[in-house]
């Protein structure tokens, strides 16, 4: 990867007050060489957990492993500070592995929405993500709007949840670092059980850095099990009685200090003083839309310009725990390659069989020239191709509106419908991708 030391992200973001960040063109130096569709596919790095879940004898045991999968999907985000490329309307990405196959498609350009559908012999996993970005003055918050669903068809079961927020700290001063925080509810629709997970903000003394804690409750809302760990490393589970006994002897590991319990009334997201936010807020009051300066429930970031480090004093290891998931270590040279995991490093690979005619869909992210050039180290070429593709997409949209150009109707593989489990509107896979025939179609989006 290129060094970003000579580039100031503030020089871009200072022009973003009052604008939607999704509409801001970022310099390619801030990108990583993957499309958001490929980044979304990283959900599947630990897909084996869903296979293991499907093999469990009881709904309770299945919920444990589905919850571990929900947490594991976020592990690759740690230290990943590069922005994935925005997919073009109609762009697709496919991946086949021993545990699953997945198809992703950009189903909407404004607002940007990405849909995916993965399946195997034992599960289906699908959903859509509509990322929202907010700039707080010192940090950027990413809200992955949308719900994802796991189905076990042979068991007639489904589980769903929404991902938690992500925050990039120290945008203006200091070293960038990333944090996941918020509440996640993994719901078992057929059995009335729920896993409620709290992704904790690090707090002033960093004792909660990366920590995830939560409970499994039955349909009568009784707590039966305690889940805990770090979204960067592992998730364990123990019975609730063992957890209560452990808390009695280790209360200091769970209670927050007074400094952590409430933030100062003069502080706001990213530890930005209110008077500064007032100045920023007064610059452009017309429309904040997805970008707004307001006060969420998260505490301020730990300290000025620092990257927090975990305090082992507060590590938790409860007796009678079982390990549900452990993150695989990253390659030794990951810092030179955008902090990619081994799984991420494989995602843009053009395998030999994909180079055969009519094998890979012409809209696949692997064929994007801007991403490929960045991967090869051609920064100027990547920037030029990125600009060309954006202009081409705008021109195509203008022509189609005027009826001057016949084109394949996008999206091809997903349709808006009601998710039968959540009862909410969602993008549902129509089928047919793996049996498609693109011979007579003009699919020139790149």
3-state SS record for 73-113: CCHHHCCCCCEEECCCCCCEEEEEECCEEEEEEEEECCCCE
Lowest mean pLDDT among 50-54, 135-139, 382-386, 402-406: 402-406
First to last CA, the chain: 24
Supply the pLDDT for residue 135: 76
The pLDDT of 428-436, averaged and rounded, is 96
Q: Is the pLDDT of residue 12 over 50?
A: yes
3-state secondary structure the chain: CCCCCCCCCHHHHCCCCCCCHHHCCCCHHHEEEEEHHHHHHHHHHHCHHHHHHHCCCCHHHHHHHHHHHHHHCCHHHCCCCCEEECCCCCCEEEEEECCEEEEEEEEECCCCEEEEEEECCCCEEEEEEEEEEEECCCCEEEEEECEEEEEEHHHCEEEEEECCEEEEECCCCCCCEEEEEEEEEEEECCCCCEEEEEECCCCCCCCCCCEEEEEEECCCCCEEEEEEEECCCEEEEEEHHHHHHHHHHCHHHCCCCHHHHCCCCCCCHHHCCHHHHHHHHHHCCCCCCCCCCCCCCCCCCCCCCCCCCCCHHHCCCCCCCEEEEECCCCCCCHHHCCCCCHHHHCCCCCCHHHHCCCCCCCCEHHHCHHHHHHHCCCHHHHHHHHHHHHHHHHHHHHHHHHCCCCCCCCCCCEEEEECCCCCCEEEEECCCHHHCCCCCCCCCCC
Q: Which CATH number fits domain 4-251+306-375: 2.160.10.10, 1.10.3720.10, 1.10.287.70, 2.40.160.120?
A: 2.40.160.120
Q: Is the pLDDT of residue 263 over 80?
A: no
The pLDDT of 352-362, averaged and rounded, is 88
Supply the pLDDT for residue 243: 96
% of the chain with per-residue pLDDT over 70 = 81
Task: For residue range 276-333, list pLDDT tens digits in order.
Answer: 444 434 333 333 233 333 334 444 444 456 678 777 667 889 999 999 999 999 999 9
Closest CA to 308 of 300, 296, 316: 300
pTM: 0.86
- Pick 64 or 145 by higher pLDDT: 64
Q: Is the pLDDT of residue 55 over 80?
A: yes
The answer to whether 103 touches 413, Cβ cutoff 8 Å, is yes
The pLDDT of 422-431, averaged and rounded, is 95
Supply the pLDDT for residue 362: 94
Supply the pLDDT for residue 314: 74
- Pick 1 or 281 by higher pLDDT: 1
Supply the pLDDT for residue 262: 38
Phi, psi of 163 (to 5 degrees): -75, 160
The pLDDT of 149-162, averaged and rounded, is 97
Supply the pLDDT for residue 6: 65
Lowest mean pLDDT among 312-316, 332-336, 387-391: 312-316
pLDDT band at 436 (very low <50, low <70, confident <90, very high): very high
The pLDDT of 144-165, averaged and rounded, is 95
Average pLDDT, the chain: 84
Q: Is the pLDDT of residue 103 over 70?
A: yes
Q: Is the pLDDT of residue 97 over 90?
A: yes
User: Long-range contact list for 376-379, CB < 8 A, 24+ apart?
Assistant: 377/2, 379/2, 379/28, 379/29
Task: For residue range 210-244, list pLDDT tens digits in order.
Answer: 999 999 999 999 999 999 999 999 999 999 999 99
């Amino acid at each position: 990867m290129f060094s970003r030391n000579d580039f100031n992200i503030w020089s871009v973001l200072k022009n973003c007050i009052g604008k939607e960040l999704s509409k801001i063109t970022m310099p390619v130096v801030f990108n990583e060489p993957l499309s958001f569709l490929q980044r979304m596919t990283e959900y599947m790095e630990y897909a084996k957990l869903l296979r293991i879940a499907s093999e469990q004898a009881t709904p309770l045991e299945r919920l444990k492993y589905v919850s571990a999968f929900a947490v594991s999907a976020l592990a690759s985000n740690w230290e990943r500070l590069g922005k994935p490329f925005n997919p073009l309307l109609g762009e697709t990405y496919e991946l086949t592995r021993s545990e699953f196959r997945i198809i992703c498609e950009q189903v909407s350009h404004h607002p940007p929405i990405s849909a995916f559908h993965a399946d195997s012999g034992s599960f289906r996993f699908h959903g859509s993500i509509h990322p929202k970005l907010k700039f707080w003055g010192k940090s950027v918050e990413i809200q992955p709007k949308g719900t994802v669903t796991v189905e076990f068809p042979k068991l007639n079961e489904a589980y769903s949840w929404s991902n938690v927020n992500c925050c990039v700290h120290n945008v203006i001063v200091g070293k960038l670092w990333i944090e996941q925080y918020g509440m996640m509810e993994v719901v078992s629709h057929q059995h009335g059980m729920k896993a409620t997970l709290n992704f904790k903000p690090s707090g002033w003394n960093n004792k909660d850095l990366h920590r995830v804690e939560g409970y499994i409750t039955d349909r009568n809302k009784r707590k039966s099990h305690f889940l805990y760990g770090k979204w960067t490393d592992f998730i364990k589970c123990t019975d609730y009685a063992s957890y209560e006994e452990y808390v009695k002897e280790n209360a200091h590991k769970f209670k927050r200090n007074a400094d952590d319990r409430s933030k100062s009334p003069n502080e706001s997201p990213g530890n930005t003083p209110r008077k500064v936010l007032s100045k920023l807020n007064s610059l452009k009051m017309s429309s904040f839309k997805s970008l707004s300066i307001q006060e969420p429930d998260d505490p301020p970031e730990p300290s000025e310009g620092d990257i927090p480090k975990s305090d082992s004093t507060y590590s938790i290891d409860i007796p009678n725990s079982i390990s549900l998931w452990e993150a695989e270590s990253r390659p030794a040279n990951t810092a030179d390659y955008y902090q990619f995991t081994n799984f991420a490093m494989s995602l843009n690979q053009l395998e030999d069989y994909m180079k055969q005619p009519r094998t890979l869909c012409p809209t696949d992210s692997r064929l994007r020239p801007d991403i490929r050039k960045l991967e090869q180290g051609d920064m100027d070429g990547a920037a030029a191709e990125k600009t060309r593709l954006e202009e081409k997409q705008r021109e195509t949209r203008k022509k189609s509106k005027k009826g001057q150009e016949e084109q394949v109707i996008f999206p091809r593989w997903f349709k808006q419908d009601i998710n039968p489990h959540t009862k909410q509107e969602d993008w549902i896979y129509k089928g047919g991708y793996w049996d498609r025939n693109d011979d007579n179609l003009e699919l020139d989006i790149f």
